[in-house]
Amino acid sequence: MGYEQIFKELTERLATELTEGELATVGRAFEVARSAHAGQRRDEGTPYIVHPVRVAAALVNELGVFNPRLVCAALLHDVIEDSAITREQIAEMFDQQTAEVVWLLTKLEDVSLADYLSAIEAAGATGAPIVKLCDRLDNLRFLTCSPRTEKIHRYIRTTKTYYLPMAARTNKYVYDQMELMLEAARIHVEALGSP
Protein backbone atom coordinates (compact mmCIF):
# COMPACT_ATOMS: atom_id res chain seq x y z
CA MET A 1 0.00 0.00 0.00
CA GLY A 2 1.33 3.42 -0.98
CA TYR A 3 1.99 6.10 1.62
CA GLU A 4 -0.81 8.30 0.24
CA GLN A 5 -3.33 5.54 0.92
CA ILE A 6 -1.91 4.87 4.40
CA PHE A 7 -2.16 8.60 5.18
CA LYS A 8 -5.71 8.80 3.77
CA GLU A 9 -6.81 5.93 6.03
CA LEU A 10 -4.99 7.53 8.96
CA THR A 11 -6.81 10.84 8.48
CA GLU A 12 -10.14 9.04 8.14
CA ARG A 13 -9.47 7.34 11.48
CA LEU A 14 -8.35 10.62 13.09
CA ALA A 15 -11.43 12.45 11.78
CA THR A 16 -13.53 10.63 14.39
CA GLU A 17 -11.29 11.88 17.23
CA LEU A 18 -9.84 15.28 16.25
CA THR A 19 -11.27 18.70 15.49
CA GLU A 20 -11.07 20.07 11.94
CA GLY A 21 -8.26 22.37 13.03
CA GLU A 22 -6.27 19.51 14.57
CA LEU A 23 -6.80 17.41 11.45
CA ALA A 24 -5.57 20.30 9.29
CA THR A 25 -2.44 20.54 11.46
CA VAL A 26 -1.77 16.82 10.94
CA GLY A 27 -2.21 17.38 7.19
CA ARG A 28 0.30 20.22 7.33
CA ALA A 29 2.80 17.99 9.19
CA PHE A 30 2.42 15.40 6.44
CA GLU A 31 3.09 18.00 3.73
CA VAL A 32 6.15 19.35 5.59
CA ALA A 33 7.53 15.82 6.03
CA ARG A 34 6.80 14.87 2.41
CA SER A 35 8.62 17.97 1.19
CA ALA A 36 11.55 17.45 3.62
CA HIS A 37 12.01 13.84 2.51
CA ALA A 38 11.44 14.45 -1.23
CA GLY A 39 13.87 12.37 -3.27
CA GLN A 40 15.01 10.32 -0.26
CA ARG A 41 14.62 6.55 -0.34
CA ARG A 42 14.81 3.79 2.23
CA ASP A 43 17.06 0.73 1.98
CA GLU A 44 14.21 -1.32 0.56
CA GLY A 45 13.78 1.23 -2.24
CA THR A 46 10.54 2.85 -1.08
CA PRO A 47 10.14 6.65 -0.81
CA TYR A 48 11.37 7.69 2.65
CA ILE A 49 8.06 9.39 3.53
CA VAL A 50 6.39 5.98 3.82
CA HIS A 51 8.27 5.39 7.10
CA PRO A 52 7.03 8.40 9.12
CA VAL A 53 3.51 7.83 7.78
CA ARG A 54 3.63 4.20 8.99
CA VAL A 55 4.98 5.36 12.38
CA ALA A 56 2.03 7.75 12.76
CA ALA A 57 -0.38 5.02 11.64
CA ALA A 58 1.04 2.57 14.23
CA LEU A 59 0.66 5.20 16.94
CA VAL A 60 -3.00 5.73 16.07
CA ASN A 61 -4.21 2.36 14.79
CA GLU A 62 -2.27 0.00 17.05
CA LEU A 63 -1.86 2.02 20.24
CA GLY A 64 -4.93 4.26 20.11
CA VAL A 65 -2.88 7.44 20.57
CA PHE A 66 -4.90 10.33 19.13
CA ASN A 67 -2.87 13.24 20.51
CA PRO A 68 -2.47 15.50 17.45
CA ARG A 69 0.93 16.77 18.63
CA LEU A 70 2.28 13.22 18.86
CA VAL A 71 0.83 12.30 15.47
CA CYS A 72 2.52 15.39 13.99
CA ALA A 73 5.78 14.52 15.81
CA ALA A 74 5.62 10.99 14.36
CA LEU A 75 5.25 12.42 10.86
CA LEU A 76 8.05 14.95 11.45
CA HIS A 77 10.40 12.81 13.56
CA ASP A 78 13.21 12.62 10.96
CA VAL A 79 12.94 16.05 9.30
CA ILE A 80 15.59 17.81 11.41
CA GLU A 81 17.99 14.89 10.94
CA ASP A 82 17.37 14.49 7.20
CA SER A 83 16.71 18.02 5.90
CA ALA A 84 17.50 21.69 6.46
CA ILE A 85 14.41 22.20 8.64
CA THR A 86 15.25 23.41 12.15
CA ARG A 87 13.64 23.04 15.56
CA GLU A 88 12.80 26.74 15.46
CA GLN A 89 11.00 26.36 12.14
CA ILE A 90 8.94 23.46 13.48
CA ALA A 91 8.00 25.60 16.49
CA GLU A 92 6.91 28.40 14.14
CA MET A 93 4.93 26.06 11.86
CA PHE A 94 3.35 24.07 14.70
CA ASP A 95 4.15 24.86 18.34
CA GLN A 96 6.91 24.59 20.95
CA GLN A 97 5.66 21.24 22.30
CA THR A 98 5.69 19.58 18.89
CA ALA A 99 9.13 21.04 18.21
CA GLU A 100 10.36 19.70 21.56
CA VAL A 101 9.22 16.16 20.79
CA VAL A 102 10.74 16.25 17.28
CA TRP A 103 13.98 17.61 18.75
CA LEU A 104 14.06 14.82 21.38
CA LEU A 105 13.60 12.29 18.57
CA THR A 106 16.47 13.78 16.55
CA LYS A 107 19.62 11.66 16.90
CA LEU A 108 22.66 13.91 16.81
CA GLU A 109 25.91 12.29 15.66
CA ASP A 110 27.91 13.24 18.75
CA VAL A 111 25.36 11.71 21.17
CA SER A 112 25.56 8.01 22.03
CA LEU A 113 22.49 5.84 21.48
CA ALA A 114 22.28 5.14 25.22
CA ASP A 115 22.29 8.87 26.09
CA TYR A 116 19.85 9.66 23.28
CA LEU A 117 17.31 7.08 24.45
CA SER A 118 17.86 8.03 28.09
CA ALA A 119 16.97 11.66 27.27
CA ILE A 120 13.84 10.54 25.43
CA GLU A 121 12.76 8.36 28.35
CA ALA A 122 13.49 11.12 30.86
CA ALA A 123 11.04 13.30 28.90
CA GLY A 124 8.28 10.72 29.20
CA ALA A 125 5.62 13.36 29.88
CA THR A 126 6.10 14.71 26.34
CA GLY A 127 5.04 11.40 24.78
CA ALA A 128 8.36 11.12 22.94
CA PRO A 129 9.13 7.55 24.19
CA ILE A 130 6.07 5.98 22.55
CA VAL A 131 6.77 7.75 19.26
CA LYS A 132 10.39 6.54 19.35
CA LEU A 133 9.27 2.98 20.04
CA CYS A 134 6.82 3.09 17.11
CA ASP A 135 9.71 4.39 14.98
CA ARG A 136 11.92 1.44 15.95
CA LEU A 137 9.04 -1.02 15.55
CA ASP A 138 8.40 0.16 11.98
CA ASN A 139 12.11 -0.14 11.19
CA LEU A 140 12.12 -3.68 12.57
CA ARG A 141 9.06 -4.64 10.55
CA PHE A 142 10.87 -3.82 7.31
CA LEU A 143 14.38 -4.78 8.44
CA THR A 144 14.52 -7.99 6.41
CA CYS A 145 13.90 -5.93 3.25
CA SER A 146 17.27 -4.24 3.74
CA PRO A 147 20.04 -5.53 1.50
CA ARG A 148 22.58 -4.58 4.19
CA THR A 149 23.25 -7.60 6.41
CA GLU A 150 25.46 -5.54 8.73
CA LYS A 151 22.55 -3.16 9.35
CA ILE A 152 20.24 -6.07 10.17
CA HIS A 153 22.75 -7.40 12.73
CA ARG A 154 23.18 -3.91 14.23
CA TYR A 155 19.42 -3.39 14.54
CA ILE A 156 19.00 -6.77 16.22
CA ARG A 157 21.80 -5.97 18.67
CA THR A 158 20.70 -2.41 19.53
CA THR A 159 17.04 -3.42 19.82
CA LYS A 160 17.87 -6.16 22.33
CA THR A 161 20.24 -3.93 24.31
CA TYR A 162 18.33 -0.65 24.38
CA TYR A 163 14.87 -0.70 22.84
CA LEU A 164 13.41 -3.88 24.34
CA PRO A 165 14.11 -2.73 27.93
CA MET A 166 12.61 0.67 27.07
CA ALA A 167 9.53 -1.01 25.56
CA ALA A 168 9.19 -3.23 28.63
CA ARG A 169 8.99 -0.08 30.76
CA THR A 170 6.69 1.76 28.36
CA ASN A 171 4.23 -0.44 26.46
CA LYS A 172 3.68 -4.22 26.54
CA TYR A 173 2.14 -4.34 23.06
CA VAL A 174 5.18 -2.68 21.48
CA TYR A 175 7.47 -4.96 23.50
CA ASP A 176 5.65 -8.07 22.22
CA GLN A 177 5.70 -6.80 18.62
CA MET A 178 9.43 -6.08 18.84
CA GLU A 179 10.08 -9.60 20.12
CA LEU A 180 8.19 -11.02 17.13
CA MET A 181 10.13 -8.86 14.68
CA LEU A 182 13.47 -9.74 16.28
CA GLU A 183 12.68 -13.43 15.88
CA ALA A 184 11.77 -12.88 12.21
CA ALA A 185 15.04 -10.99 11.67
CA ARG A 186 17.03 -13.75 13.43
CA ILE A 187 15.45 -16.42 11.17
CA HIS A 188 16.17 -14.22 8.14
CA VAL A 189 19.87 -13.82 8.89
CA GLU A 190 20.20 -17.54 9.66
CA ALA A 191 18.65 -18.32 6.27
CA LEU A 192 21.21 -16.00 4.66
CA GLY A 193 23.96 -17.96 6.42
CA SER A 194 25.32 -14.75 7.95
CA PRO A 195 27.52 -14.80 11.05
Q: What residues are annotated to the active site?
A: 81-82
Query: From CA 63, how far away is CA 181, in angstroms rounded?
Result: 17
**Virtual torsion, Cα 60, 182, 144, 158, nearest 10 deg:** 90
- Contact (Cβ atoms closer than 8 angstroms) between residue 102 and residue 87: yes
* Helix spans in 37-163 (H): 50-57, 68-76, 79-82, 87-93, 96-104, 113-122, 128-141, 149-158
